[in-house]
Chains A and B, each alone.
Chain A
């Protein structure tokens, strides 16, 4: 199981304050998660971080490594110097299995060079090998040819880009939203055609640096009756917090101020041991957040596909 965070705000925040600073930061979650029963086998960290003040602001600082974040001294040092107004970061967790490939191309987030949209996934699609043949015909050839890794997530990303009118152009929030829903519907259809009914979590994270979309969803939730060890699979957690200013207050990282909601942060787990100022997103849901009149707005919708 992976760990993900996505931030969108008016405030340019040092990425250190998200990755390393808080007592349950993403780096901390990678080896001592609080909401998972066991520690994951780490397979890398990646991030896309946008900043209004950087050169070529529409391009994110894009970093991927199979190194573990707590050993990555370079990232640690850089994180104190790089600020972001939108960041998608992902720690990849894989099964203890020789079937897994630990490699750069499998590290999230995924972002093709010729699109602005970055994408990450927390979960896994059961029966992916059976699904691949059908998926191939549903993905645009020029996108299919850019699949480099072995993850199901990259296939979902490719299918998502295919649903966009022109994935290389500026994509509106509405178009990205519709494309993500179409992607989930196609995956459902293919699962049905392949006779796959094992629970498959798909917490998805999409952003172009200006808006974000997150899902908290599991196909066929609870349908693992013949595999007792998997039967109690819970919904992958997803939390959010928002406020006027993000930083250290009274020795604890938190969002402060609610007069103007300038920043929003979603994460697999609250970034602080104190979960007071965090809310959990509902199961079977899709949420979008964007900036309007200097404020972050977010809306959560039921997700049925």
Chain B
């Protein structure tokens, strides 16, 4: 594939000329006929599609085998990114509206880059994660709108929103080294790292112990990620200071991110501990410092972070479908 064909692709903007030239040998161009299904919902793919020209329809199959068109994507937009990074099942069916030309970025090429050229892989993953993050925020707004659409008489009060946050709940900093090392060794986040590398990474992290019901202040807060070592954290959609509805729960070994890629997230969502919890935390500042001090560890954990961001979109999308289905009889 010609380098000039891909250098205008938004996703690859941060790549150098050399990186683009190298990558162009591994990207494939595919042409789809009108109506042709490119990806089937519910199946597993691990490839990323960049639309070069044409338009695709994104449709979702709901229980009852009903299909609804969720959106359309055009030139420059991508699809398949969640499965590409998070290895989840495809959440929508993608079909060509007219003739569509796509650049296909195979998942196995990303894996190769991660080993041979981690900096290049990182740049691509980061660009995808940023796009995914904006979609995530957009979908949170859509869920908020859906909640508003439900007639008041059917609107059930969110028990979690009402009773879970406890203003007296406290947070206490504890030694990161006090966390059970055997537990840490089994976490996906540290899986690629040796014992020494894990110790080194832990020196960049802090640990916190939270009471149940602790509400994180995500609005305009500095970016950081948390890794749950004990307990669980609940994600809430918010309306100003008000908690509207819980959307997902993260448990031991899972990451939760606060304003990690942008401040947008904190304006519409926040977290509350739904059990007494202990977390390991890494600020964006320390994460970037790690890039200078030990790029290998930085790239290893970045893969995991970007995969989690993509996976969050999958979780939020599924919740949107569930709520939409539950209230179909009312919304119709």
Residues of A participating in the B interface, judged by any CB pair closer than 8 Å: 220-226, 228, 231-235, 240-244, 249, 254-258, 261, 274-284, 295, 297-304
Q: Are A243 and B63 in contact (CB under 8 A)?
A: yes
In the complex, what's the smallest C-beta–C-beta distance from A164 to chain B, in angstroms?
Answer: 22
In the complex, what's the smallest C-beta–C-beta distance from B332 to chain A, in angstroms?
Answer: 10
Q: Are B275 and A223 in contact (CB under 8 A)?
A: yes
Stretch of B121-129, B282-290, B317-325 with 4 or more beta carbons under 8 angstroms from chain A: B317-325
Report Cα–Cα, A235/B229, bound state, in Å.
16
Chain A interface main SS type? loop
Q: Are B63 and A258 in contact (CB under 8 A)?
A: yes
Q: What are the 8 tightest A-B residue pairs by CB atom distance, in nearest-first order?
A: A258-B64, A276-B42, A243-B64, A302-B159, A258-B66, A225-B230, A283-B249, A302-B160
Partner of B159, one of A235, A281, A301: A301
The 20 sampled A-B contact pairs (Cβ below 8 Å) are A221-B232, A221-B251, A222-B251, A222-B275, A223-B230, A225-B180, A233-B251, A235-B251, A241-B63, A257-B65, A258-B66, A261-B329, A275-B42, A276-B61, A277-B62, A279-B63, A284-B249, A295-B329, A301-B159, A304-B164
Q: Are B228 and A222 in contact (CB under 8 A)?
A: yes
- List, in ascending order, chain A residues with CB within 8 A of B278's CB: 225
Closest A residue by C-beta to B164: A304
In the complex, besides A225-B278, A261-B64, 13 extra interface pairs with C-beta distance below 8 angstroms are: A232-B186, A234-B251, A242-B64, A256-B65, A258-B63, A261-B329, A277-B64, A279-B318, A279-B321, A279-B325, A282-B322, A284-B249, A284-B274
Closest B residue by C-beta to A259: B64
Partner of A225, one of B183, B186, B234, B249: B183
Residues of B participating in the A interface, judged by any CB pair closer than 8 Å: 41-42, 61-66, 89, 156, 158-161, 163-164, 180, 182-183, 186, 228-232, 234, 246-249, 251-253, 274-278, 318-319, 321-322, 325-326, 328-329
Report Cα–Cα, A261/B328, bound state, in Å.
10
In the complex, what's the smallest C-beta–C-beta distance from B253 to chain A, in angstroms?
Answer: 6
- List, in ascending order, chain B residues with CB within 8 A of A298's CB: 326
Report Cα–Cα, A277/B64, bound state, in Å.
7
Closest B residue by C-beta to A225: B230
Report Cα–Cα, A241/B61, bound state, in Å.
12
Closest B residue by C-beta to A274: B42
- List, in ascending order, chain B residues with CB within 8 A of A281's CB: 322
Q: Are A243 and B65 in contact (CB under 8 A)?
A: yes
- List, in ascending order, chain B residues with CB within 8 A of A283's CB: 248-249
- List, in ascending order, chain B residues with CB within 8 A of A234's CB: 251
Closest B residue by C-beta to A262: B64
Report Cα–Cα, A262/B180, bound state, in Å.
51
- List, in ascending order, chain A residues with CB within 8 A of B160's CB: 284, 302, 304
Report Cα–Cα, A189/B230, bound state, in Å.
22
In the complex, what's the smallest C-beta–C-beta distance from A272 to chain B, in angstroms?
Answer: 9
Closest A residue by C-beta to B91: A276
In the complex, what's the smallest C-beta–C-beta distance from A120 to chain B, in angstroms?
Answer: 22
Report Cα–Cα, A226/B230, bound state, in Å.
10
In the complex, what's the smallest C-beta–C-beta distance from A268 to chain B, in angstroms?
Answer: 17
Report Cα–Cα, A242/B62, bound state, in Å.
9
In the complex, what's the smallest C-beta–C-beta distance from B231 to chain A, in angstroms?
Answer: 5
In the complex, what's the smallest C-beta–C-beta distance from B38 to chain A, in angstroms?
Answer: 16
Report Cα–Cα, A202/B37, bound state, in Å.
41
- List, in ascending order, chain A residues with CB within 8 A of B61's CB: 276-277
- List, in ascending order, chain A residues with CB within 8 A of B163's CB: 304
Beyond A223-B276, A276-B42, whether A228 also contacts B182 by CB under 8 A is yes
Partner of B275, one of A221, A299, A300: A221
Q: Are A304 and B159 in contact (CB under 8 A)?
A: yes
In the complex, what's the smallest C-beta–C-beta distance from A54 to chain B, in angstroms?
Answer: 28
Report Cα–Cα, A256/B248, bound state, in Å.
28
Q: Are B322 and A280 in contact (CB under 8 A)?
A: yes
Q: Are A301 and B156 in contact (CB under 8 A)?
A: yes
Partner of A231, one of B164, B183, B249, B318: B183
Closest A residue by C-beta to B60: A276
- List, in ascending order, chain A residues with CB within 8 A of B328's CB: 258, 261
Closest B residue by C-beta to A220: B275
Report Cα–Cα, A41/B84, bound state, in Å.
35
- List, in ascending order, chain B residues with CB within 8 A of A274's CB: 42
Q: Are B64 and A222 in contact (CB under 8 A)?
A: no
Q: Are A232 and B180 in contact (CB under 8 A)?
A: no
Report Cα–Cα, A254/B42, bound state, in Å.
14
Q: Are B180 and A277 in contact (CB under 8 A)?
A: no
Report Cα–Cα, A257/B249, bound state, in Å.
31
Report Cα–Cα, A261/B63, bound state, in Å.
10
Report Cα–Cα, A280/B253, bound state, in Å.
21
In the complex, what's the smallest C-beta–C-beta distance from B270 to chain A, in angstroms?
Answer: 16
Q: Are A222 and B277 in contact (CB under 8 A)?
A: yes
In the complex, what's the smallest C-beta–C-beta distance from B225 to chain A, in angstroms?
Answer: 17
In the complex, what's the smallest C-beta–C-beta distance from B277 to chain A, in angstroms?
Answer: 7
Q: Which of B246, B319, B326 gathers most chain A CB within 10 Å?
A: B326
Report Cα–Cα, A64/B208, bound state, in Å.
49
Closest B residue by C-beta to A287: B326
Closest A residue by C-beta to B315: A280
Report Cα–Cα, A283/B160, bound state, in Å.
11
- List, in ascending order, chain B residues with CB within 8 A of A300's CB: 322, 326
Partner of A257, one of B64, B158, B251: B64
